[in-house]
Copies of this chain bind each other. A is one copy, B any other.
Amino acid sequence: MTTHNSADFSIHNLPWGIFSLPGESPRVGVAYGDQILDMAAVAELDLFDFDTSVFYEDHLNPFIALGKQVTSRARTQVQSWLRDEQGPLSNHDHLFIPQSEATMHLPVRVGDYTDFYSSIEHATNVGKLFRDPDNALLPNWRHLPVGYHGRASSIIVSGQNFHRPKGQVMPPNATSPVFKASTRLDFELEMAFIIGKDSALGEPISTGEAPDYIFGMVLFNDWSARDIQKWEYVPLGPFLGKNFASSVSPWVVPLEALEPFRVPGPRQEPVVLEYLRCNGPQNYDIQLEVGLRPDGGEESVISRSNFKYMYWNMPQQLAHHTVNGCDVRVGDMLASGTISGPHPGSYGSLLEISEGGKKPLTLADGSTRTFLEDHDTLTLRGYAEKDGIRVGFGAVTATVLPAK
């Protein structure tokens, strides 16, 4: 897999994002091939029947909040105009901006961010390493999509780098913790969906209603400091081991664009409780890839996975999240948890790939890794492809800067 943004952003995709040009304000754009369709400029053509001031905002929330009826129709209209060589967008070169000239911004203002733990392979691998190899999967895992609340403020967009976190860790065989830079810095290969519609407090969303509340998806890298996490996480879960940074891809692929790639998920055994049952296939066949590039070196692909491996699907995650009355708001982000496949080559974290740091991985330049080193650049990519139709997510990338 190479980063063919132009192939990812086909006429079948048309993802939404926030971009800016030097000296100009961030605004809404649509990715098309290697170009950005400047929606604020399109708004000037007076082609839409809704309030297009939403295209001048620096986050997608107001656009998304117009509702799927409006946003889906807007997408279909753009699609037909782009296909029409005599259409209203033709002879308007100023509407198109090369992606290479633009800076991308966080696409949404995230109210709440939730991280699930929905890959059975990942939960099993981590359970073996962190807890009991013989009872890796905890008793609740097959009954509900385990999840927890993460930090919204430290979600950053692809291209924004961050410093290796420092924190409190308990060294092996020590009796007192020490404060130091994390030496077990890891990535997590995830995807996230973005809420497209507010729900009311006290009103659960059923699995059947869920798609109406999902605007679209992004790639998500849930950076993790395993040493900090291991010491802090009992009994209330991960905190500083995660909340120093989480990276998302800049283009939000609308759920509609993923429709052709629906596939059945893994068989759920035992049968789930009624509020978690779904009709029809709810997984998506999205190929995923992780590249690790050492400072100045060439990139090695260190994992190939697929979103279809998810044991718990998005409607189940959303139905579970709200079944107690918890409300969701436009722009909320719900991440999948690490997406590991059944084989080592498809593991979605270095923790799993290196078996907890015991088995170093050899990169293309001959260097080895158990966890991430300073100046390593980690890139997640993903796309769906079928019958000549390709819908891709582009990439989410960041470089680990040394601890301050």
Interface residues of A (CB under 8 A from B): 111-112, 117, 127, 130-131, 138-140, 143-144, 146-154, 156, 162-163, 165-168, 170, 176-179, 201-202, 204, 225, 228, 231-240, 243-245, 270, 273-275, 320-321, 323-329, 332, 404
A179 and B232 contact, CB distance less than 8 A: no
Q: How many copies does the complex hold?
A: 2
| B138 with A234: CB separation less than 8 A | yes
Complex: A143 Cα to B138 Cα, angstroms? 27
Q: Which 10 A-B pairs have the closest CB atoms?
A: A237-B237, A165-B324, A148-B236, A149-B149, A236-B237, A244-B324, A240-B324, A243-B326, A244-B325, A167-B324
Most chain B CB atoms below 10 A, which of A153, A166, A228, A238: A153
Q: Which of B237, B273, B328, B329 contacts A235 (CB under 8 A)?
A: B237
Q: Give the residues in chain B near A326, CB-CB below 8 Å.
A: 151, 153-154, 240, 243-244
Whether A112 lies near B144 (C-beta < 8 A) is no
Would A151 and B153 count as touching, CB distance under 8 A?
no
User: How many whole Å from A199's CB to the nearest CB in chain B?
Assistant: 9
With contact pairs A140-B177, A225-B324, A324-B243 given, residues A153 and B236 touching in the complex (Cβ less than 8 Å): no
Determine the chain B residues whose CB is within 8 A of the CB of A328 once the complex forms: 153
For the complex, give the distance between the alpha carbons of A106 and B85 in Å.
52
Determine the residue in chain B with the shortest Cβ distance to A235. B138
Q: List 12 A-B contacts (CB under 8 A).
A: A111-B153, A138-B234, A146-B239, A148-B238, A149-B149, A153-B326, A153-B332, A163-B325, A179-B273, A201-B245, A225-B324, A240-B324
- Cross-interface CB contact of A144 among B165, B168, B404, cutoff 8 Å: B168
A45 to chain B, nearest CB (A): 34
What are the residues of chain B within 8 A of A332 when measuring CB–CB?
Answer: 153
Q: Is the CB of B235 within 8 A of A111?
A: no
Of the candidates B233, B273, B275, B325, the one whose C-beta lies within 8 Å of that of A165 is: B325
